[in-house]
Amino acid sequence: MKFELKQHFQIESARFLPHLPPSHPCSRMHGHSFKIVLTLVGDLDPKIGWVIDYNDIQAHMKPLLALIDHRVLNEVEGLENPTSELLAKWIFDKARASLPMLTRVSVAETPLTECSYPA
């Protein structure tokens, strides 16, 4: 029996988008409170009664989030152009190594905008 779990995280980071024209506000350094949602799909362990312990998800994510929380994202290897789309893919690619049941990463840079990878 498959279940879908979601674990929410929040980071505070600064960035600028270097490929935009200078007149665009996002070409300048600015910050976001990024909301990150991991979606995992897996089978229920009938003995324990869950798919994975949420504490285990947090433990897997802690070192990864430390690389991007309260950082300038442009200075993180692989995030030189840190759009929300590329941030979602970067997190997915890194987190999937230790969380193979990860199926999606969603990133919201504001309460009104969100993207997911993969779609």
Q: Which one of the listed residues 24, 70, 80, 85 is annotated catalytic?
A: 70
Widest CA span of the chain, in angstroms?
58
83: Cβ–Cβ under 8 A, 6 or more apart, which residues? 17
115 classed as catalytic: no
Please state, in angstroms and rounded to a whole number, the distance separating the CA atoms of residues 97 and 9: 18
- The residue written with tokens 């799909």 in the block is 41
Positive or negative: CA dihedral 51, 54, 56, 59: positive
Q: Which one of the listed residues 4, 12, 26, 30 is annotated catalytic?
A: 26
26 classed as catalytic: yes
Please identify every residue annotated as catalytic: 26, 70, 109
